[in-house]
Amino acid sequence: MNNAFLALTAAGLASLGGFGINAQTSRVQTAQVVTSAQDYTQEAGVFSQWLDPQAPQCVAVSKIGSVSRLTKLTHEQFQFVRALYVAIPPISRALPPGDSAVIASANGRSMIALVSGGEACARFLAPDFVLSMLTQIGKGETEAAGDPI
């Protein structure tokens, strides 16, 4: 992939970028990309302790469940979330850890966590449009991309 494509992809996913463990946000200023950590404590609510750049890399799912309602995702939803996590800035070049995923919900906010061995080692705040897509995937809904060749 070329750098222009990667830059456009990162810009397109920037709305998710500030809400993950070790996440960064990018702003374009006078043809420069400025990377800085922002304070999403208020927006992340009870999940801020696990989305902060200083948070431990892995957290027991039971700790997250102690302050939220957990919903286990289907295998198809897990694969979608894993692919989405890789594309969230900073873009990863490796699959994140995990063999399943959960949505943690509390106070009108949702955090998605990829789970391995009872620990969530990849986490991000989930906006409503991602939750909507996960619902569609859970129902087996697909959109036709065109005619088969």
pLDDT tens for 101-132 read: 999 999 999 999 999 999 999 999 999 999 99
pLDDT tens track for 33-58: 333 444 555 688 899 999 988 899 99
Q: Are 120 and 58 in contact (CB under 8 A)?
A: yes
* pLDDT at residue 144, as a whole number: 67
Percent of the chain with pLDDT over 70: 69
Q: Does residue 47 form part of some domain?
A: yes
- pLDDT for res 20: 55
Output the pLDDT for position 141.
Answer: 79
Does residue 145 sit within a domain?
A: no
More confident residue, 78 or 147: 78
Q: Please check whether residue 148 lies inside any domain of the structure.
A: no
pLDDT tier, 88 (very low <50, low <70, confident <90, very high otherwise): confident
3-state secondary structure of 124: strand
Would you state the pLDDT for residue 12? 40
Q: Which residues pair with 130 in a beta bridge?
A: none
The strand pairing partners of 81, in sequence order, are none
Tokens 């995937």 — which residue? 137
- DSSP run (H or E) holding 51: helix 48-51
Q: Please check whether residue 121 lies inside any domain of the structure.
A: yes
Q: Six-digit token pair at 102?
A: 């959960």
112: left (phi over 0), alpha (psi -120 to 50) or beta: beta
Residue 149 domain flag: no
Q: Minimum mean pLDDT among 5-19, 22-36, 84-98, 115-129: which range?
A: 22-36
Find the domain containing 25 and state its range: 3-138
Domains held by the chain: number: 1
Residue 28 forms part of a structural domain: yes
- Is 147 within the bounds of a domain? no
Alpha-carbon gap, residue 23 to 90, rounded angstroms: 6
Structure tokens at 137: 């995937």
Higher pLDDT, 142 or 135: 135
Element (H or E) spanning 28, and its range?
strand 25-29
144: in domain: no
Per-residue pLDDT at 146 = 67
